[in-house]
Amino acid sequence: MVQRGAKRLRIGRRWETGGHHRKALRTTAVGAVSATLVAGSALGLAPAAQAAPNSVRFVDIGGYGGTTLKANVVTPAGADGKHRYPLLVMPTSWGLPQVEYFAQAQKLANSGYVVVSYNVRGFWQSGGEIEVAGPPDIADASKVIDWALANTPADARQIGMAGVSYGAGISLLTAAHDKRVRAVAALSGWADLIGSIYSGRTQHVQAAALLDGAGLITGRQSAELRQIFDDFYASNLSKEQDIINWGKKRSVGTYVDQLNDSGAAVMMANAWGDTIFPPNQYADFYEKLTGPKRLEFRPGDHATAELTGLFGLPNDVWTDTERWFDHYLKGEDNGINRELPVQLKSRSGGAYEGYPDWKSVGATDKKISLAGTTTIRANVDSGANGGVVFLSSILDQVAQVPPMAAIPLLPRRWAAVWQSEKYSSAQRVRGTSKLHTTVTPTKESGTLVAYLYDVGPLGLGKLVSNAPYTFHGQTPGQPFGLDLELYSTSYDVPAGHRLALVVDTVDPLYIEHNPSGARLTFSSPANDPSYVSIPLREQ
């Protein structure tokens, strides 16, 4: 494992030494991405643009410490300087240029908003280094608000922030620190950074490598960020607490009391299959909010649910975003505040389902007993896995084809398998499945990955959910209790199918910590039986 991490570090250093090459890539890519987004915007917004030619300006804004932030400003047509408009500030996503939101900015300006979108520090043509939503990024957002109030017809009493991914995280953090922000739409973002890419004390290596690579090509990593990535890949346990502290500083969950005190209206949307920011951390954070709030989950992977809206095409996420701001900034009575605030769309299709809160999503729990004693050997991928970052969840989104495994053929030497009875009626899984079991390791460290499958009559399993778990410091030969939450989901298991829980020790999505020759034994003591609890929507 350490050797694999070292290999990644060598690759990372090779990228770093190619500074001139990266700059050339950035320059070429910015033109390509910008042209694509602007062209898509123009096509998608042609009727609106003809009806209302908004004012568009490309400007430089002085951020924290004098750092130059490249930005664009879209002002409603006919703005004469006498009338004030609600202000929307939109930080860009990780690795995307300042024209990312151009289509939505045009639409919002047509609806009467001043929209300022800016490239966050460290990326593309903005100055500074990548801080990963650190204090300088939050200070930058406040500086952008200051600039907009001084240089546009923006109303200081009606300020909102919105963004996708990185922009979502910065928007939430800014609302917690700057009480001028009255409403937020955080799309495919995070509330707990460590809980996202280090859940179950396990490095989500494909997600981290994707962020790392995009940052190296499109931005300038700070020395602190480079060290965080290096320690993360190398599984440096002596640095674990440092990484956790670094992540907490950049997680709005740390500042939930401040956000609640501000009274800002918070809308959050995410995808069930988000391989960078899994849905659990948003759902947990949502329950802690006390002000106006809304939570939406849809099929897809990271930022794919919002993608068509970036090209000006009809999109549910962006439609609800505008409705959210129309109500909480403009005061329009559009009914969004009277709708059930938790809105879910199942991966299996169908209409949106509304719930009064997250706790109501899985009305009942059905337990599958994990009886008996099973021993598996580590270090080999059994064939059960969570797929590939982005690709697998996108296939599920567009074709309802998640990662699959032939359950009867999984080698029991490397995979533990338990199955439910055959269901006589459809089982509508909604929410967070939970695994409880007893594990006896032969080594003090180890990693396991749990998978929940929908198994058809021929034994083909479709992945419903999964999650990794890593332990350190256990006594070899001594059993310990394990509780693991799988990633939240919404999935309909057809009548005549079964659910299967599979546990193995290797998955390409994660770094595993299994010493050579390790074995894991799963048991179900009489006084503490093992089970997986499945949350079901009321039938």
pLDDT tens track for 276-324: 999 999 999 999 999 999 999 999 999 999 999 999 999 999 999 999 9
Which is more confident, 171 or 363?
A: 171
Q: Does residue 45 have a pLDDT over 80? A: no
What pLDDT, in 10s, does the model give residues 50-100? 344 778 999 999 999 999 999 999 999 988 878 999 999 999 999 999 899
Averaged confidence pLDDT in the chain:
90
Mean pLDDT value of segment 103-114? 96
What pLDDT, in 10s, does the model give residues 471-517? 999 999 999 999 999 999 999 999 999 999 999 999 999 999 999 99
Distances from the Cα of 68 to the Cαs of 56, 74, 93, 119, 125, in angstroms? Answer: 19, 19, 17, 10, 9
Those residues whose C-beta lies under 8 Å from the C-beta of residue 89, and which sit 6 or more positions away, are 116, 117, 118, 141, 144, 145, 148, 159, 160, 161, 162, 171
> Predicted confidence band at 539 (pLDDT cuts at 50, 70, 90)?
low
Distance CA 306, CA 104 (A): 11
Looking at residue 538, its pLDDT comes to 77
Q: What is the pTM of this model?
A: 0.89
- Give me the residues paired with residue 472 across strands: none
**CB 79, CB 140: distance < 8 Å:** no
Distance CA 518, CA 537 (A): 39
Q: In terms of DSSP H, where are the helices of 178-264? A: 193-197, 205-218, 223-233, 240-249, 256-262
- What single letter denotes the amino acid at residue 72? N
Nearest 5°: phi and psi at 289? -80, 140
Q: Does residue 151 have a pLDDT over 50? A: yes
C-beta atoms surrounding 21 within 10 Å = 11
Mean pLDDT value of segment 6-27? 36
Which is more confident, 41 or 237?
A: 237
Query: 510: which 2 tokens?
Result: 């994660």
Q: In terms of DSSP H, where are the helices of 125-178? A: 135-151, 166-177
> Predicted confidence band at 432 (pLDDT cuts at 50, 70, 90)?
very high
Looking at residue 459, its pLDDT comes to 97
Whose tokens are 């299709």? That residue is 349
Q: 392: helix, coil or strand?
A: helix
Q: Does residue 37 have a pLDDT over 60? A: no
Q: 499: helix, coil or strand?
A: strand
Looking at residue 377, its pLDDT comes to 97
Distance CA 116, CA 143 (A): 12
Mean pLDDT value of segment 129-157? 97
Q: Does residue 229 have a pLDDT over 90? A: yes
Percent of the chain exceeding pLDDT 70 equals: 90
What pLDDT, in 10s, does the model give residues 378-391? 999 999 999 888 68
Whose tokens are 């020395």? That residue is 223
What pLDDT, in 10s, does the model give residues 184-218? 999 999 999 999 999 999 999 999 999 999 999 99
> How many alpha carbons lie under 13 Å from residue 175 in its C-beta half-sphere?
38
Query: 290: which 2 tokens?
Result: 């006390």
Those residues whose C-beta lies under 8 Å from the C-beta of residue 141, and which sit 6 or more positions away, are 89, 91, 161, 170, 171, 174, 178
What pLDDT, in 10s, does the model give residues 490-501? 999 999 999 999
Distance CA 350, CA 367 (A): 26
For 345-361, b where at least 16 C-beta lie within 10 A, e where not — what string?
bbbbeeeebebeebeeb
> Predicted confidence band at 139 (pLDDT cuts at 50, 70, 90)?
very high
**CB 165, CB 94: distance < 8 Å:** yes
Mean pLDDT value of segment 224-233? 96
Distance CA 34, CA 26 (A): 12
**CB 322, CB 107: distance < 8 Å:** yes
